[in-house]
Structure 1
Amino acid sequence: MAFDFEPQVSVSALEPTSPLRTHRKLDVKRVLKRGFDILFSTLALIALSPVFAVVTLMLRLREPGPVFFSHERVGIDGRTFRCHKFRTMREDGDRRLQWVFAIDPIAREQWDAEQKLDRDPRVHSLGDLLRRTSIDELPQFWNVFKGDMSIVGPRPITMAEAEKYGHHFADYCSVKPGITGAWQVGGRSDTSYAQRVVLDVDYIRNASLVDDIQIVYKTVGVVLAQRGAC
């Protein structure tokens, strides 16, 4: 399945189906997806435990403050959860960000439009490396194991970002957000926010377990090439 920026199927082209049959298909799909999530996250947490240890030690030695950062994100059915990452920002990051906004209106405009900056003043030097390699997101495997997230799904968003999804927010809330997804293999931070929304909605409406496996495979190449890293 190709994730592009155009809808694959128009609503008018959909054939009516039995509600019971659709419900059963969704139940089977959810069970298979959850099984995949548990297996993958368990293996990842075990295999990556040396990486966790090294990163934890480096952060302890080089950066003051906690090793992990947890922030509230919107999950399935609109429920919020704490999304975990390795901390990549300075303790006075918010103050630095507001200072940049005060002297650079273009940065303010970029932030309002995309919720990101080309050069984020909040990120410390080690954090930049962790972000470029996506190592900062490894703690999210614990979110997957707990059931807050999936391996593959839409990008986890804050409640403040919900309005950017417009009427597609209902689509977003119908599934669990993912560590990776169509937005990841489709450009990561090189894509505009509007393109991310289209990619996420296209995935939510059309993806299968086979597509999830393909996205995981493609994600490895994207991360190794460090394309579109935040």
Structure 2
Amino acid sequence: MLVAINEPEMTSAPAASLPGWKRALDLLCCAAAFPLLVVLTAFAALLMRLTSPGPIFFRQERVGFRGRRFKIYKFRTMHAGSDTKGHQQYFAQLMQTNTPMQKLDSRGDSRLIPGAWLLRSTGLDELPQILNVWQGDMSIVGPRPCIPYEYENYSEEQKRRCESHPGLTGLWQVSGKNRTTFAAMIRLDCDYAHKRSLLLDLRIILLTPVALFIQVGDVVRGRRRHAVAHASTNLKVGIGATLPERLARSET
């Protein structure tokens, strides 16, 4: 069961707490990714205008380096005012079971804006976080920043994953991500926090496109299975509703 949390004072992780080589790599990657961010912002603005009125960007409180809070930036991919209780329940289930951490997107989440599943499965909805990297709250490589209610339900051992700055990609993401369990995510993130190096970061960055390609395939297959199951359920309901009427007509 998830526990209630108290709102802490918002803090930020200074870039000075990052190793020099890591900060230099972050700034280089930010400069390279900025043109893509501009193009995607224009695309996202058009998508919002056509499908879902509301802001282009989504800001949410996350937990970063050593428990510090900060606001994360993302492209908005859900309808404004969407309920998040489903995610809290799903997270509680993942913590207590040994099931793979599948994205809710692959189950046909009705909260998503049409077409937004593609942004999410490719990770492009996270690209605005290069602003968080530039500010020093995040790094290019590191554990994904968790939501406060997730962090407050971590054990002290699990909180060790926050011993490094959160990142856009990381060891967990290139090691199976949605095919792995919650326990595996914690283990991989803790391993990275204690073994990070320039060579490891470069290896993770190079493996990220492959990991994203696999993730897109998993989401597409998951959405297809969900659509087939949904259609099958509707068919059974339809047959069940009309059968008594057919029997009644055959008796007259």
TM-score class, shorter-chain normalisation, is 0.7 to 0.9
Q: Which residue of 1 aligns with 2:206?
A: 217
Match of 1:150 among 124, 139, 145: 139
Matches of 1:144 and 1:189 in 2, distance apart?
24
Deviation larger for 205-214 or 111-120: 111-120
Contact 2:76 2:125 in 1 (8 A): yes
SS in structure 2 at match of 1:157 = coil
Indicate if the aligned counterparts of 2:142 and 2:168 stay in contact, CA closer than 8 A: yes
Q: Report the equivalent of 1:114.
A: 94
**Equivalent position of 1:199 in the other structure:** 188
- In structure 2, the residue matched to 1:11 is none
Counterpart Cα distance in 1 of 2:110 and 2:70: 26
- Consecutive unaligned residues in structure 2, runs of 5 or more: 1-15, 96-102, 223-252
Q: CA separation in 1, counterparts of 2:180 and 2:44?
A: 28
- SS state of the match for residue 72, structure 2? strand
Q: Once the two structures are aligned, what percentage of the paired residues are identical? A: 39
CA contact under 8 A between 1:42 and 1:145: conserved in structure 2? no
Shift of 1:83: 0.7
TM-score normalized with structure 1 length: 0.75
Q: Any gaps of 5 or more consecutive residues in structure 1?
A: 1-26, 102-106
| Per-residue deviation, residues 25-81 of structure 1 (Å, max 9, x unmatched) | xx9971110111111112211344222222222222221111111110111132101
Runs of 4+ displaced beyond 6 Å: none
1:63 and 2:52 are equivalent in the alignment: yes
Q: Separation in 2 of the partners of 1:37 and 1:112?
A: 33
Contact 2:161 2:186 in 1 (8 A): no
What is the CA distance between 1:220 and its match in structure 2? 1.2
Q: Let me know the Cα RMSD of the aligned residues.
A: 2.6
Separation (CA, whole Å) in 1 of partners of 2:47 and 2:135: 26
CA distance in 2, matches of 1:48, 1:65: 19
Deviations 1:123-171 (A, max 9, x none): 2222212112211111111111111100000111012112454123552
Secondary structure of 1:81's counterpart equals strand
CA separation in 2, counterparts of 1:183 and 1:164? 20
Q: How many residues align?
A: 195
- 1:79-98 mapped onto 2 (5 Å cutoff): 79-94=68-83
Whether contact under 8 Å (1:188, 1:228) holds in the other structure is: no
**Structure (1 or 2) with the larger CA radius of gyration:** 2
Q: Give distance in 2, aligned partners of 1:88 and 1:200.
A: 26
CA deviation vs aligned residue, 1:70-106 (integer Å, no higher than 9, x gap): 1101111321011111111112421xx66xx6xxxxx
CA deviation after TM superposition for structure 1 residue 108, in Å: 8.1
Q: Which of 92, 115, 127 is the equivalent residue of 1:138?
A: 127
- Residues in 1 aligned to 2:88 and 2:159: alpha-carbon distance in whole angstroms: 28
1:135 alignment partner AA: L
- Residue 75 of structure 1 aligns with an amino acid whose one-letter code is G
Q: Residue 35 of structure 2 corresponds to which residue in structure 1?
A: 46
The alignment's TM-score, normalised by the length of structure 2, stands at 0.69
Task: Give 3-state SS (helix, strand or coil) of 1:216's partner.
Answer: helix
Offset of residue 221 of structure 1: 1.4
SS at match of 1:223: helix
Out of 114, 126, 129, which is 1:125 matched to? Answer: 114
Larger CA deviation: 108-117 vs 152-161: 108-117
